[in-house]
């Protein structure tokens, strides 16, 4: 382990290996010709087998930047910013064709597409650069609005969810201002990328809707005509490539997805679309085979099922207003939210609880079950915190609800109960955004409901669901924790100095268990404002008789010296190995990594998620900003009081952060200790049960 860490420190342009890395490709990368100068990181990552970073040329740049080990400054990114556009575009073009199939096809297609339409590759790539910078630094968002066409290209090609979500506000802006032509023009690139994308996860476009909305009138008519023609000539049998491709236009305009890879033949498409007018192409080939069409429809249905609904973006006023109407709680949105986090929900603190309390006895179709209501209250007041506790509380509430449930007349249990659970979940979300672990548990429950046989009686169905919930809690949480403790304890040796951050219940169990086994070690508890959760952990550990040191995160770099192991909990582990956890975890992990201390993340596999996230911006939770303003027990610290009146001040209280996989030495799960790169394997192998949305 020591040697590995040493080696990692040296690597400069870091390559992120996510998912399965075949040894061949790993070997091949260093052998690939390294272009000189500014573009150096770009090709390396474009070549990487990661399914995550394929489509966007410049996102890899950001990832390489953010995964660079701590002390190393990052000149490449600066150079990218500073360099003239012509210089940047040159290596792209010159390098890509000589690269692997993946990179070349993508690069060339995009280039040809761009050149055909706009004839200005440099500006496009400049836009690309600015996007990458924006997502890296998350500051220069305004740069995006300048070159809309370029961005729309990048966006439609980008299937990386996080890349889009990295700069959500600007993304939307780009969508609104970009012309329909630009989008159509970019379709070929999409399809090529999709064909290349190995991981179906990459196909999830977070926002297909705007694409659909932005089709121009002429295009819609064209699509409609094509469909009508297809219906008329339904009996005709033919496998005309162009016609299929035409069908693909319709599909891809609706939602970009990896369907086109099934049809293949991507090299023909640029030719079809180069004339920009789908009307023409539909006139040319009106005949579409019926079986193809139906198959397509079916596949589209499947796709819709697979693609999760786009997450609620709270800067979308219409949708927020709609959601408000449906929710039980009256919510007043906080006014001065931080611009970058405007897409996250944040409500004025203190307005939700009274409104919820006043509704306590009201009879309302929206009114949740008493147990769920209670849990919602406890979420709202932060009386239940922590991924496991919240998840168990929710499941127990649902258990009560199912116990009291009786199917209304003229309804089926499966559908009605699913709808009921949906409404309860949305109630819980209004109390506090649900965690990823809870999302997984909800999915599990819904899958179980959906897979109930129709013939089974209501009593039996309820009974089996309750048993399933109990089993989930037992197996996925309780036993999993025990297994994690067993695994982790083996890593604690006499004389160790263990460091932890915040208060993780698994880590606490590990420490206590190791202590009971008679191991001699010390614990450093690192805490952070404003919640100071570490204090509770510290008190309990001291109560057990452990030897502890307590410090705040400001002193992390000092406290880390002499530490031999870092144990951290996690809210979730994402499929690229990113650990999504209580804010401050990334900082601790980074310091530990810089000082060569192994970082162990303790996380049950039910918290794993297929999502890929590169930063903590796109998906996070905002805490109460006032919590930062007041210091408990210090009445003299009041300089920030009344901050809400100031237009110029935005107080940001983030709840979670994302720790890149590079800082994580090992993830301790109930299935064993795995490197962060193996998370997709666990997700694939141990989640055979299909989830139904």
Partner 1 sequence: MGPIMKFQVVVLAGGMSKKLFPLVSKDVPKALLPVGNRPVLSYVLELLEANNLKDLIVVVAGEDAAVRVGGWITEAYDGRLHVEVAAVSEDIGTADALRAVLHRLVVDDVLVVSGDIVSDVPLGAIAAAHRRKRAVLTAMLCSSPSASTAEAISSTGKDKAKKPSPIDIVGLDTSHQHLLFLASGTQVDKDVKIRRSLIRVVDQMEIHMDLMDAHLYAFNRAILQEVLELCQGIKSIKQDLVPYLVRSQSKFGAIASGDTQTEAVGKTPNKDDSGQPQTPMQDIVPLPQHILPGVLHPASLELTCCVYIASEGKYCSRVNSIQTYGDINRDQVAGELVFLTGYTVSNQNNVIHPTAEIGSKTTVGPQCMVGDGSKLGDKCSVKKSIVGRHCRIGSNVKIINSVVMNHVTVEDGCLIQGSVICSNVHLQERANLKDCQVGAGYIITANSEHKAEALSKREKS
Residues that bind partner 1 (CB under 8 A): 354, 356-363, 370, 373-374, 377-378, 381, 383-386, 388-389, 392-393, 396, 473, 477-478, 481-482, 485, 503, 505, 508-509, 512-513, 516, 535-536, 539-540
Least Cβ distance, residue 378 to partner 1 (angstroms) = 6
First to last CA, the chain: 41
| 404 or 458: CB nearest partner 1 | 404
Least Cβ distance, residue 549 to partner 1 (angstroms) = 20
| 305 or 411: CB nearest partner 1 | 411
Total Cβ atoms within 10 A of residue 104: 15
| 97 or 408: CB nearest partner 1 | 408
| 506 HSE (CA, 13 A, CB side) | 32
| 389 or 450: CB nearest partner 1 | 389
Residue among 536, 582, 319, 534 nearest 436 (CA):
582
Least Cβ distance, residue 604 to partner 1 (angstroms) = 12
Least Cβ distance, residue 361 to partner 1 (angstroms) = 4
β-pair type (521-527, 547-552)? parallel
Least Cβ distance, residue 538 to partner 1 (angstroms) = 11
Name the 3-class secondary structure at 602.
strand
| 172 or 483: CB nearest partner 1 | 483
| 329 or 452: CB nearest partner 1 | 329
Least Cβ distance, residue 360 to partner 1 (angstroms) = 3
Residue among 626, 589, 588, 582 nearest 607 (CA):
582
β-pair partners for 600 = 567, 666
Residue among 387, 294, 473 nearest 656 (CA):
387
| 366 or 396: CB nearest partner 1 | 396
| 395 or 461: CB nearest partner 1 | 395
Least Cβ distance, residue 142 to partner 1 (angstroms) = 42
Task: State both tokens at 671.
Answer: 């299935």
Provide the 8-state DSSP code for 71: T
Nearest 5°: the CA angle 105, 258, 144 is 70
Least Cβ distance, residue 650 to partner 1 (angstroms) = 27
Least Cβ distance, residue 106 to partner 1 (angstroms) = 49
Least Cβ distance, residue 326 to partner 1 (angstroms) = 21
The region that residue 438 occupies, defined by phi over 0 for left and psi between -120 and 50 for alpha, beta otherwise, is alpha
Least Cβ distance, residue 370 to partner 1 (angstroms) = 5
Residue among 221, 236, 226, 233 nearest 284 (CA):
226
Least Cβ distance, residue 478 to partner 1 (angstroms) = 4
| 244 or 485: CB nearest partner 1 | 485
Say if residues 397 and 375 touch (Cβ distance below 8 Å). yes
Q: 438-462: string of b/e by CB count within 10 Å (b at 16+)? A: bbbbbbbbbebbeebeeeeeeeebb
Distance CA 571, CA 415 (A): 31
| 90 or 356: CB nearest partner 1 | 356
Say if residues 154 and 132 touch (Cβ distance below 8 Å). no
| 361 or 459: CB nearest partner 1 | 361
Measured on CA atoms in the order 254, 260, 265, 266, is the torsion positive or negative? positive
Q: How far is CA 532 from CA 153, 300, 537, 552, 625, in A?
A: 45, 48, 10, 9, 15
| 21 or 396: CB nearest partner 1 | 396
Element (H, E) at 383: none
Least Cβ distance, residue 397 to partner 1 (angstroms) = 9
Distance CA 460, CA 465 (A): 8
Least Cβ distance, residue 533 to partner 1 (angstroms) = 8
| 509 or 640: CB nearest partner 1 | 509
Element (H, E) at 449: helix 436-450
Q: SS3 for 81-131, per residue?
A: HHCCHHHHHHHHHHHHHHCCHHHHHHHHHHHHHHHHHCCCHHHHHHHHHHH
| 252 or 604: CB nearest partner 1 | 604
DSSP labels, 281-322: HHHH-----HHHHHHHHHHHHHHHHHSPPPPP-TT-HHHHHH
| 102 or 538: CB nearest partner 1 | 538
β-pair type (579-582, 572-574)? antiparallel
Distance CA 462, CA 475 (A): 20
| 287 or 389: CB nearest partner 1 | 389
Residue among 333, 560, 568 nearest 430 (CA):
333
Least Cβ distance, residue 408 to partner 1 (angstroms) = 12
Least Cβ distance, residue 353 to partner 1 (angstroms) = 8
Distant-in-sequence, close-in-space partners of 617: CB < 8 Å, separation ≥ 6: 138, 165, 166, 340, 341
Element (H, E) at 141: none
């Amino acid at each position: 382990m020591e040697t590995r860490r040493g080696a990692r420190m040296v690597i400069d342009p870091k390559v992120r290996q996510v998912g399965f890395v075949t040894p061949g490709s790993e070997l091949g990368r260093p052998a690939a010709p390294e272009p000189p100068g500014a573009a150096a990181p770009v090709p390396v990552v474009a070549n990487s087998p990661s399914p995550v970073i394929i489509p966007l040329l410049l996102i890899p740049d950001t990832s390489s930047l953010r995964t660079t080990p701590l002390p190393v400054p990052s000149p490449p990114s600066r150079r990218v910013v500073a360099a003239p556009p012509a210089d940047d575009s040159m290596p792209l073009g010159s390098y890509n064709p000589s690269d692997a199939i993946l990179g070349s096809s993508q690069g060339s297609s995009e280039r040809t597409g761009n050149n055909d339409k706009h004839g200005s590759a440099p500006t496009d790539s400049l836009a690309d650069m600015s996007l990458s910078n924006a997502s890296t630094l998350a500051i220069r968002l305004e740069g995006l609005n300048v070159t809309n066409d370029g961005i729309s290209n990048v966006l439609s090609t980008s299937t990386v969810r996080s890349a889009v979500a990295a700069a959500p506000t600007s993304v939307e802006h780009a969508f609104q201002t970009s012309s329909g032509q630009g989008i159509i023009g970019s379709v070929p690139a999409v399809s090529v990328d999709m064909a290349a994308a190995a991981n179906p996860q990459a196909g999830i476009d977070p926002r297909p809707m705007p694409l659909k909305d932005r089709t121009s009138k002429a295009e819609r008519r064209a699509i409609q005509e094509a469909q009508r023609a297809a219906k008329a000539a339904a009996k005709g049998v033919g496998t005309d490539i162009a016609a299929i491709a035409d069908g693909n236009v319709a599909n891809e305009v609706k939602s970009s997805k990896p369907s086109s890879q099934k049809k293949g033949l991507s090299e023909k498409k640029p030719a079809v679309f180069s004339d920009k007018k789908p009307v023409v192409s539909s006139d040319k080939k009106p005949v579409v085979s019926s079986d193809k069409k139906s198959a397509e429809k079916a596949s589209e249905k499947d796709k819709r099922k697979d693609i999760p609904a786009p997450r609620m973006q709270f800067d979308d006023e219409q949708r927020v207003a709609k959601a408000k109407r449906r929710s039980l709680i009256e919510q007043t949105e906080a006014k001065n939210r931080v611009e970058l986090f405007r897409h996250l929900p944040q409500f004025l603190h203190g307005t939700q609880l009274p409104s919820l309390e006043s509704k306590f006895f009201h009879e309302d179709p929206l009114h949740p079950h008493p147990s769920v209501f209670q849990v919602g209250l406890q979420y709202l007041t932060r009386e239940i915190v922590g991924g496991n506790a919240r998840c168990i509380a929710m499941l127990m509430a649902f258990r009560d609800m199912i116990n009291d449930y009786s199917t209304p007349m003229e309804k089926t249990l499966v559908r009605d109960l699913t709808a009921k659970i949906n409404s309860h979940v949305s109630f819980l979300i209004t109390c506090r955004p649900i965690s990823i672990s809870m999302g997984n548990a909800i999915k599990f429950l819904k899958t179980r409901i959906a897979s109930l046989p129709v013939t089974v009686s209501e009593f039996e169905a309820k009974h089996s669901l309750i048993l399933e919930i109990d089993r989930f809690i037992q197996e996925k949480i309780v036993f999993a924790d025990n297994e994690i403790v067993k695994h982790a304890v083996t890593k604690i040796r006499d004389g160790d100095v263990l460091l932890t951050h915040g208060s993780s219940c698994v880590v606490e169990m590990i420490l206590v268990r190791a202590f009971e086994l008679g191991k001699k070690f010390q614990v450093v508890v690192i805490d952070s404002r404003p919640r100071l959760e570490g204090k509770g952990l510290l008190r309990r550990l001291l109560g057990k008789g452990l030897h502890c040191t307590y410090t705040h995160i400001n002193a992390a770099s000092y406290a880390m010296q002499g530490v031999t192991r870092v144990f951290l909990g996690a809210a979730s582990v994402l499929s690229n190995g990113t650990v999504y956890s209580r804010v401050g975890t990334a900082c601790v992990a980074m310091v530990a990594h810089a000082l060569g201390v192994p970082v162990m993340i303790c996380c049950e596999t039910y918290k794993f998620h297929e999502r890929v996230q590169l930063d903590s911006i796109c998906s996070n939770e905002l805490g109460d900003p006032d919590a930062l303003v007041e210091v408990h027990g210090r009445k003299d610290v009041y300089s920030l009081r009344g901050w809400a009146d100031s237009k110029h001040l935005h107080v940001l209280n983030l709840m979670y952060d994302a720790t890149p996989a590079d800082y994580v030495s090992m993830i301790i799960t109930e299935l064993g200790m795995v490197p962060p790169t193996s998370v997709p394997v666990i997700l694939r192998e141990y989640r055979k049960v299909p989830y139904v949305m």
